[in-house]
Amino acid sequence: MEITSVGIVGAGQMGNGIAHVFALAGYDVLLTDVSHEALDKALALIDRNLERQASRGKITAEDRTAALGRIATTQRLADLGNCDLIIEAATEREAVKQAIFAEVLPHLKPSTILATNTSSISITRLASRTDRPERFIGLHFMNPVPVMQLVEIIRGIATDGATYEAMLKVVERIGKTSASAEDFPAFIVNRILMPMINEAVYALYEGVGNVKSIDESMKLGANHPMGPLELADFIGLDTCLAIMNVLHEGLADTKYRPCPLMTKYVEAGWLGRKTGRGFYDYRGETPVPTR
Ligand code: NAD
């Protein structure tokens, strides 16, 4: 099955990056979001990020213009009807994702592959609610998408071999490397990464360290390029909390209980970089720790 056009649902942090890499690889991209503002912001950001790549000599000015020309936007899911592959990258809430699939499915060709960028929700369960569990798959990109090399490919219990093979080729064509993960809560990267971030929030909650000392410790003591709290802000605390809840419920082990302090930040709307405040306050010139 030849894939030439890709529909991307959700134009947030991940959706814009996914649109960027697919357009650069020569796919026609149709990007959709419920929010007009999110679409405008995504296009502006893609333009800026392509410009940065061009100024560093990673792509040519022609590549940048051609990639931008391949991206169209719409607020109507029905417009995705002609796409060969749909990648859902909307908010990490199962009800949101299911509603999107229910709305888009009647407009799709039978051959269209449905992929989700979920960080943690069961691919098998999401697939079972659609008319094509055999052509449903997890395609888990890392943030920021244009920079990060890995894409996890997650087969649900019903995903067929042809869909899996097609996704291996797609990941190769966009110049990334895939790792195959089984469909268990949070797959590989987040199964390991999120409990570490959650533990860093517990260390903050219990007063073992403050934001600065925890991040400095992991950067200088474990050679991590970013501290865990800085990374949590970068990912989005709502996404981190959602993933911890999926691990906690899906594996029924108290070692995955989300830290109450993480819940409190999310309740405050302090979701990290995307809202201007999280474990750091980003509203000034330089990020200032909030604890
Ligand atoms: P985000 O909050 O930046 O963006 C989500 C976007 O989805 C928003 O623009 C919102 O308007 C849109 N949206 C919500 N409901 C919609 C609907 N019904 N139809 C169309 N658009 C809708 O979130 P994000 O960080 O981009 O995360 C998106 C997905 O990617 C989540 O499933 C998340 O788990 C996953 N993911 C996130 C990261 C990360 O580091 N942030 C990494 C890998 C995967």
Measure the CA–CA gap between 252 and 103, rounded to whole angstroms. Answer: 32
β-strand pairing of 150-155 with 85-88: unpaired
Ligand 1 mutation pick, 8, 14, 122, max ligand atoms within 8 A of CB: 14
- Minimum-distance ligand 1 atom for the alpha carbon of 15: 26
The mean pLDDT values, 10 residues at a time, for the chain of 291 residues are 94 97 98 97 98 96 97 98 98 95 97 95 96 98 96 98 98 98 94 98 98 98 98 96 95 97 98 97 97 96
Q: What is the sign, positive or negative, of the torsion defined by CA atoms of 211, 213, 217, 223?
A: positive
Amino acid at 91: T
CATH superfamily placement of domain 5-181? NAD(P)-binding Rossmann-like Domain (3.40.50.720)
- How do residues 68-120 score in pLDDT, each as one tens digit? 999 999 999 999 999 999 999 999 899 999 999 999 999 999 999 999 999 88
- Specify the DSSP class assigned to residue 182: -
Measure the CA–CA gap between 134 and 132, rounded to whole angstroms. Answer: 5
Predicted TM-score (pTM) of the model is 0.90
Spacing, Cα 33 to ligand 1 middle (Å): 10
Pick the CATH number of 190-289 from 3.90.79.10, 1.10.8.60, 1.10.1040.10, 2.30.42.10: 1.10.1040.10
Q: How many residues does the chain have?
A: 291
pLDDT of residue 42: 98
Place of tokens 């200032």: 288
pLDDT of residue 92: 87
Please tell me which residue in 117, 140, 178, 198 is annotated as part of the active site.
140
Judge if the beta carbon of residue 272 lies within 6 A of ligand 1: no
Spacing, Cα 107 to ligand 1 middle (Å): 22
Ligand 1 mutation pick, 75, 190, 193, 239, max ligand atoms within 8 A of CB: 239
Measure the CA–CA gap between 53 and 46, rounded to whole angstroms. Answer: 11
Known catalytic residue at 190: yes
Does the fold of domain 190-289 match that of domain 5-181?
A: no
For the chain, the domains span: 5-181, 190-289
Spacing, Cα 87 to ligand 1 middle (Å): 11
Known catalytic residue at 140: yes
